[in-house]
């Protein structure tokens, strides 16, 4: 009897110790969350060990030189079809006409990023002279990219014309569930590790219009790379001034041109486009929302298409914050008018420590989109 009692007590003690250990592990995982609950991404050694995830060979890759392939695009489609919710959602990117003296190198990580995130297609317009740019044929040959020439002289180099065509014509995005008109320097971020279809199934069943705000990043300063780049070429450019709002920088949600917002919409409801930056609140309800940037925002690196000719990037080792006194230091949009200032009148650009975690997640083809709770399981092991 005494032996049996000791065995029971020993079993209870072991169970209690195991429970305490597991609780402490989960608490440690919770501490990895951003203070504003921006994301649940873990350090790279926790969930990004394999060089290949499913059909995506991602680690050590440069998407500028090696964009998503036809076979990988098929794999992404297969993954979407396995979603419990959102598998029937289609999404497209609409990009304004390319113009001027541009390099197409930055387009390859851009189109790869959105394909990996779950967008089905990228519709891209260009002015005639761009067809003679190096790598044009390579970009046009990607199966998830459609390139259309625009030879007109409409304002904004035909941006409104392209947007309306993309939203309203069936050969473009008119028959897609959702469409997002954006530029090459804008990268969409979500608050959970999931594909765009999973996010829309979770957040947008009753919506037809989602206004997305901006967080500004600079190319002028970079951090020291301690781990390999995710492949999009932006990991080390992690200095950001945070939420942007022209003449009202303390405002968190800032729609229309004042926030340089872009709009994710259902083309069936907006066949004439959304005027680039969208509308004020009164014009989009019911069925429209200005998304809180802690849930969804666009990360923007202005002047991205010109960075290959601009070698002024300054490495800032061991500097978490840079204090800026004028726009020329960082070359972001209306820096002193659109960003929150410190007491001394400067704008603080701080290192976004979770930038690479997000990029690495997308680089793998949004692998947790069907099993979000896997992150918790892996962290607790």
Over residues 138-169, the pLDDT tens digits come to: 999 999 999 999 988 877 777 889 999 999 99
Question: What is the band of 31 on the pLDDT scale with cuts at 50, 70, 90?
Answer: very low
The SS3 of residue 247 is: coil
The string over 15-46, giving b where at least 16 C-beta atoms fall within 10 Å of a residue's C-beta and e elsewhere, is: eeeeeeeeeeeeeebeebeeeeebbbbbebee
State the average pLDDT over residues 81-90: 85
Give dist(CA 155, CA 279) in Å, integer.
Answer: 19
- The residues near 298 (Cβ < 8 Å, ≥ 6 apart) are 182, 186, 187, 188, 189, 212, 213, 214, 215, 262
The SS3 of residue 3 is: helix
Phi, psi of 301 (to 5 degrees): -115, 90
pLDDT of residue 2: 62
Q: With 90 as the cut, is the pLDDT of residue 213 above it?
A: yes
């Amino acid at each position: 009897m005494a032996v049996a009692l000791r065995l029971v007590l020993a079993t209870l003690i072991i169970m209690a110790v195991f429970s305490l250990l597991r609780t402490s592990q989960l608490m440690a995982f919770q501490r990895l969350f951003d203070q504003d609950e921006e994301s649940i991404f873990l350090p790279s050694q926790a969930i990004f060990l394999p060089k290949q995830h499913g059909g995506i060979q991602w680690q050590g890759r440069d998407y500028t030189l090696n964009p998503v392939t036809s076979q990988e695009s098929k794999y992404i489609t297969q993954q979407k079809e396995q979603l419990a919710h959102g598998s029937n959602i289609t999404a497209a990117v609409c990009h304004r006409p390319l113009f001027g003296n541009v390099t197409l190198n930055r387009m390859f990580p851009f189109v790869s990023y959105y394909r990996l995130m779950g967008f089905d297609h990228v519709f891209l317009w260009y002015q005639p002279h761009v067809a003679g740019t190096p790598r044009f044929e390579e970009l046009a040959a990607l199966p998830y990219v459609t390139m259309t020439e625009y030879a007109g002289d409409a304002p904004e180099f035909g941006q409104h014309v392209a947007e309306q065509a993309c939203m309203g014509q069936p050969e473009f995005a008119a028959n897609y569930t959702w469409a997002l008109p954006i530029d090459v320097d804008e990268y969409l971020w979500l608050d959970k590790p999931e594909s765009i279809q999973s996010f829309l199934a979770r957040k947008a069943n009753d919506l037809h219009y989602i206004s997305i705000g901006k967080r500004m990043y600079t190319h002028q300063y970079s951090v020291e790379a301690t781990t390999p780049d995710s492949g999009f070429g932006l990991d080390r450019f992690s200095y950001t001034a945070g939420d942007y709002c022209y003449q009202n920088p303390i405002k968190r949600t800032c729609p229309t041109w004042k926030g340089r917002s872009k709009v994710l919409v259902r083309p069936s409801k907006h066949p004439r486009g959304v005027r680039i930056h969208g509308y004020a609140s009164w014009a989009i309800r019911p069925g429209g929302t200005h998304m809180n940037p802690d849930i969804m925002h666009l990360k923007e690196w202005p002047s991205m298409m010109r960075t290959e000719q601009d070698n002024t990037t300054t490495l800032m080792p061991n500097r978490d914050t840079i204090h800026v006194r004028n726009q020329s230091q960082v070359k972001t949009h209306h820096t002193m008018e659109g960003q929150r200032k410190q007491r001394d009148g400067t704008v603080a650009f701080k290192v976004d420590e979770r930038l690479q975690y997000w990029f690495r997640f997308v680089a793998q083809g949004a692998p947790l989109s069907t099993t979000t709770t896997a992150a918790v399981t892996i962290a607790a092991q």
